[in-house]
Amino acid sequence: MADNPTAPRGARTPWQVTRSVWYAMFMREAISRTMSDRMGWFWMIFEPVAFIGIMVGIRSFVSGDRLIVNAPFIPWMIAGLMGFSLAREGMLRGMGAIEANGALFAYRQVQPVDPVLVRNFLEGMLRSLVFLIFIGGGVLLGLEIYPDNALRALYAWFSLWCLGLGAGLVTSVGATLIPELGRLVRMLSLPLLIISGVIFPLNQMPHWLLEYLMLNPIPHGLETLRLGFFENYKTIHGTSMLYFWMVTLTLNALGLLMHLRFVDRLKAK
């Protein structure tokens, strides 16, 4: 049955057009990410493995696992790095989505927000696949990296995915209109890794500093994700998914409003 019975025979509804656009862009992005380089799949898995290996080595050399309460050190760091990468890549890849698909805006059905949404969805799917590979490999190696509370872990993973989408919607507009903003965001991604409690637990920070660090929503999502993996894990004081979702929904709403407000300027770019 047609979605809109009043539409002329053979005409498609706006939702059908949007689905077709998203599907075509998804296939274009997926082929570009996985097939353009004959070693694309290898680098997609090896890059996070190498990065996590380097971070684990540095952290082990500095302090080992003495600061982690009720959670094994390596799985604790893997969960944090994967969750952080999900949110960060959603933000960074959204910045280049509009410019990379500029030629498609000649078709009136394609809007600047479409490539941002599609890229974030594809990135989330790929990161989820890599995380599942990590979990499977960790279990085979005897690491305690399987979730004790799968529903909580999935909820936190989805939450970080949505945070990356909201940040990507905002930065995609800002970086397209002001290119210098994109360079600034990329420069801040490394300090953000440190202050988000990915490598070192924020519990050891002074209380006055922790209050400011917890204004960053990422630690709230990461701590909830870790709690899903380790049921006896002691989360950072002040962890609140209510605050996390207030920030996430605000970013998503702001990003969509920015796309509506500057749609003509984004297409002109």
- Tens of pLDDT, residue by residue over 86-98, are 999 999 988 888 8
Contact 32, 104 (CB under 8 A): no
pLDDT at 8: 52
The single-letter code of the amino acid at 57 is G
List the chain residues with pLDDT less than 70: 1-10, 36-41, 59-67, 269
Rounded to 10 deg, the angle between the 241-261 and 218-229 helix axes is 130
Query: 199, exposed or middle or buried, with CB in 10 Å at 0-12, 13-18, 19+?
Result: middle
pTM value > 0.95 = no
Position 37 scores a pLDDT of 65
